[in-house]
Amino acid sequence: MKETDVIIKTYTTVSNKIERRIAYYGWDSKYPIVAFFNYADSYRFSADIIFEKFQRKETPLSDLDRLGFAICFLYRQSIELSLKFVYMTCRQSDANNETFLNKGHRLLDLWDTLQPLIESSINDAKEIRHYINEFCKLDPDSMMMRYPVKKNNTPNKTDTKLDIIIYAHAAQKLQRRLIEIGESIRNQ
């Protein structure tokens, strides 16, 4: 590492020579609903890629724990952002959006605010709540897979052997359902 190393390099135009080096950020910032969908989908997509590696027989057992943390965090983040996507879709120009976004990372709080807005148009609210409750048992506020300790410096996990296959499949199912709800509302 040197003090003169270029860390952040941005471009105003893109040539064929660099198109495989860049990712576009902020193009969707004028469209919060699209941005929330894109973020949720990006976390889900990244989790899917890591989950595929987790499932490969040639992946060393010693890598599974490291991959598991990332899988859980990324899927949970995709669920959180999917809930926010659905809310933003329901309340496109609502002054309450800021209040909703300030609810933080607690999935159940987000669902409790969102559910009354959509329950007349869905028939699986109980099932969605069940899934969210299950994810909250493991990580209620998005801290467990993000940090090894709580804010008071005590461990945030006990010795647990989590079935990542079941977790990932459930997360995929919930995230997919939330996106379906949001898309259905957008198309009304």
Residue ranges per structural domain of the chain: 32-186
Taking 80 as the threshold, does the pLDDT of residue 100 lie above it?
no
Taking 80 as the threshold, does the pLDDT of residue 98 lie above it?
no
In tens, the pLDDT along 48-69 reads 999 999 999 999 999 999 999 9
Contact 102, 110 (CB under 8 A): no
In tens, the pLDDT along 2-47 reads 999 999 888 888 777 777 788 887 778 778 888 889 999 999 999 9
What is the value of pTM for the model shown?
0.89
What confidence score (pLDDT) does residue 95 get? 62
Amino acid letter, residue 99? T
- Helices 32-55 and 61-90, interaxial angle, to 10°? 160
Amino acid letter, residue 73? F
DSSP 3-state of 8: coil
φ, ψ for residue 153 (rounded to 5)?
Answer: 70, 20
- Helices 61-90 and 125-138, interaxial angle, to 10°? 140
In tens, the pLDDT along 106-137 reads 899 999 999 999 989 999 999 999 999 999 99
Distance (Å, whole) CA 116 – CA 122 = 11
Contact 71, 167 (CB under 8 A): yes
What confidence score (pLDDT) does residue 46 get? 97
User: For 2-9, which contacts have Cβ atoms below 8 Å and span 24 or more sequence positions?
Assistant: none
